[in-house]
Amino acid sequence: MIEAVFFDLDGTVANTNELIYQSFKRMFTDKMKMEVEDAEIYSLFGEPLTTSLLKYQEDITDIMDYYRTYNAEHHDAMVTSFVGVEEALKALKENGLKLGIVTSKREAMARRSLSCLGLLDYFDVIVTPEYTEKHKPQPDPLWKACELAGGIDPKNTIMVGDATYDILCGNSAGATTVAVSYSVIAPEVLKAANPHYTVDDLRELLQIIEEKNSEARSTYV
C-alpha cells in the first residue's frame, strides 16, 4: 500500500525552470565568459549545484557565489506553481498520505520556494543535500525521507520528479517512480530513466495510488 509520496521541488512542484536557466546562463556568460548551449544547461537540472559546477572548473567558490546571488535576488519574482499542484497536495493529505520533498536544493532555499507558493505546510519531510552524504541519483535521499517520515518502507512510496536523477534515485531506492511530462528535459532522455508512470498533472497521482492500492488489496484477499 502506498503510504507516502515524495516530490522533487524544482521543475516538479515549483516552476523555477526559467530562474535556474537564467542563473546558469548569467553565470556562464557574465562570470565565466562562456557560451553554453541550452541543452547542456538543461542537462544540469536536478543535480546538486556543486556537482554541476565541478564539471567546469576545480575552484568553484566564485562561480557558485555568482549563481547563488543571482538566484536569490530573482527568486521570489520568478518562482511560480504548476497547475493543479496545490489541489493534488491537498487531496493526497486528505487521503492520509505522508508528503515529502526530496531535492538537490539547499534547505533554506527549498523552504523559501515552498513558502512563496504557500505550500510549505503540506509537507511532513524535506530532505536536502545537507541531510545525506550521497545525493540523487543515489537512493540515499529517498531512504532518508522514508526514515524521517516514520520508517516507511520505500516500496510503499512514490517518487515524483522532472529529471532523470529523480527517477534513478526512486528506482534505486525501490519506490514507484513518476515522471512529469512538463519537464524541460527531453522526453526521450527522461523515458530512458525508466519511470513507472508519466503524468501531465500531479492530480493524476490520485488515480495511480488508487490503482496500486487496489492491486495490493487484491493480493491479500
From the list 8, 10, 162, 166, the catalytic residue is: 8
Is 8 marked active-site?
Answer: yes
Cα distance between residue 70 and residue 152, in whole Å: 38
Return the number of other C-beta atoms located less than 10 Å from residue 144's C-beta. 19
Preceding peptide of 137 cis, ω within 30°: yes
- Pick from 29, 172, 12: which is nearest to 104 by CA? 12
Cβ neighbors of 29 (< 8 A, separation 6 or more) are 35
Cell of 64: 557558485
The secondary element (H helix, E strand) that includes residue 19 is helix 17-26
CA distances from 48 to 51, 103, 135, 159, 181 (A): 5, 9, 8, 18, 22
Dist CA 63 CA 181 (whole Å)? 31
C-alpha cell at 219: 493480493
d(CA 144, CA 152): 10
User: Which residues are identified as catalytic?
Assistant: 8
